[in-house]
Amino acid sequence: MQKPKVVVLGGGTGMPVLLKGLKHLPIDLSVIVTVADDGGSSGKIRQDMDIPAPGDIRNVIAALANVDDEMNEMFQHRFQTNNELSGHALGNLVLVALNHMTGNFYEAVKKLANIFQVNANIIPVVNEAVVLNALMDDGSIIIGESNIPVHNKKIDRVFLTPNNVKPLPETVEAILEADVIVISPGSLYTSILPNIIISDIVKALNETKAKTMYVCNVMTQLGETNDYDATSHVQAIYNHIGPHTIDAIVVHKEAISKPIRQIYEKEQSFPVTYNIEELEQLGLEVMEEHILDPHKTVVRHNKEKIAEIIYDYAMNNMNGKG
C-alpha cells in the first residue's frame, strides 16, 4: 500500500512530541525545522560560528531516533560545569563537529540522522545562519529570536535577515510533493512562523495540492500570543503567508483542570479558546479533539492521539486538494 507523504513544519518544544507519535506510523515523513534560535547553547554556538542554530534540529533527531535510550540520553545531555562547556548540549556539539567535517550543515544533519537510525527526512529550512526579527505594533523592531518575547509587546509581523534568504530546495520539493502538511504546535512567532515566511516557502505553500493542517496551541504564550484565541493564531499565519493556506485546524475541546491552569497563570499563560463559526468562516475544517496527555501534570500533547488524527487525515487526503 502506498504510504502518504506527510510534511511537518515547526520547531521548539511542541514539534518533537508530535514526531514521537508519528515515527511509528507507515508514512513517508519529512520534517522542515527552524534554525533561527539564538538562545542557550545554540546562541553560544552561533556567536562563535556562522552556522544555522542546531538546537531544534537536535531535538527532532532525538524524537525520531531509533536507538537505545542511553544513547539518546547521552545525545541530549547538557553540561553543567564551571567552564565554557556549561549549558551546551552534547548533540549540538556533535552537529558542529559534523558540520566542520562535511563543510555543509544539511550534510551534517543527514549524517547524524543516519547514525541515529531516523526513518524520516529532516531538513533545516535554510542552510545558513539567519536572524529572526519582529516589527512590533508600536513600530519598533526587535532583533533576535530570544529577544522578541521578553519585550512583551504586541507583534505585528516577523521577518528574517538576510531578507533574500533562500530555503533548501528539498524543503520546497517536499511541500509540493506532500499529501498533507502539518504546522506543528509551538511558539507561534519564534518557532513556527520562521519556517514559513521565506518567500519560496510561501509560494510553495500557496501552490501545493497538499491539504494543510494546523495543530493549534493549547495555551497562550506571554510576549507572543497574549489574549490570542485560535482565530488569532490562524490570522497571524495568514497575515504572513496569505489567506486560505490552511485547510483544517485541530483544537483541544476539553477544559483544562484548575490545578494545571493555576500553574500556567503564574506565567500569564491561559487556555486558547476557539469559536467554531469564526474558524469555519476562514474556510477551515475544525477538528475538536481531546489532544492533551491526561497523565501529565503540565500541558503536553498526547502524541499517540495527535499522530492518529494526522494519519487519518493523511489517508483521507492522499490526492491532496486535487
Residue 185 falls within a domain, yes or no? yes
3-class state of residue 156 by DSSP: strand
Residue 156 falls within a domain, yes or no? yes
Q: How many domains does the chain have?
A: 2
- Domain end: 87, 120, 153, which one? 120
162 and 65, same structural domain? no
225 and 150, same structural domain? yes
* pLDDT score of 70: 94
Give the model confidence (pLDDT) of 127-186 as tens digits.
999 999 999 999 999 999 999 999 989 999 999 999 899 999 999 999 999 999 999 999
* pLDDT score of 107: 98
Q: What are the start-end ranges of the H helices in 197-243?
A: 199-207, 230-241
Q: How many residues does the chain have?
A: 322
138 and 268, same structural domain? yes
* pLDDT score of 320: 52
241-257: b or e for each residue (b if 16 or more CB lie within 10 Å)? Answer: beeebbbbbbbbeeeee
CATH number at residue 21: 3.40.50.10680
Whole domain around residue 268: which residue ranges? 5-34+125-316
201 and 52, same structural domain? no
205 and 222, same structural domain? yes
284 and 213, same structural domain? yes
> Which residues face 123 on adjacent strands?
32
160 and 252, same structural domain? yes
- Domain end: 120, 147, 177, which one? 120
Cα dist from 74 to 43, 61, 63, 69, 94, whole Å: 21, 13, 13, 9, 11
170 and 305, same structural domain? yes
195 and 91, same structural domain? no
Q: What is the DSSP string of 271-288?
A: B----HHHHHHTTPEEEE
* pLDDT score of 322: 42
Among residues 132, 173, 164, the alpha carbon closest in space to that of 149 is found at: 132
195 and 75, same structural domain? no
47 and 167, same structural domain? no
* pLDDT score of 319: 65
Residue 322 falls within a domain, yes or no? no
**Nearest 5°: phi and psi at 6?**
-115, 130
- pTM for the model stands at 0.94
Residue 47 falls within a domain, yes or no? yes
Q: What is the mean pLDDT of each run of 10 residues along the chain (322 residues)?
A: 94 92 97 87 73 91 96 90 78 93 96 97 95 96 94 95 95 98 96 96 98 97 97 98 97 92 95 98 97 88 95 87 45
- Domain end: 120, 147, 169, which one? 120
Residue 278 falls within a domain, yes or no? yes
Residue 239 falls within a domain, yes or no? yes
| Contact call for residues 29 and 6 (beta carbons, < 8 A) | yes
63 and 88, same structural domain? yes
Residue 284 falls within a domain, yes or no? yes
Cell numbers at 282, concatenated: 476562514
Cell numbers at 149, concatenated: 518575547
Residue 321 falls within a domain, yes or no? no
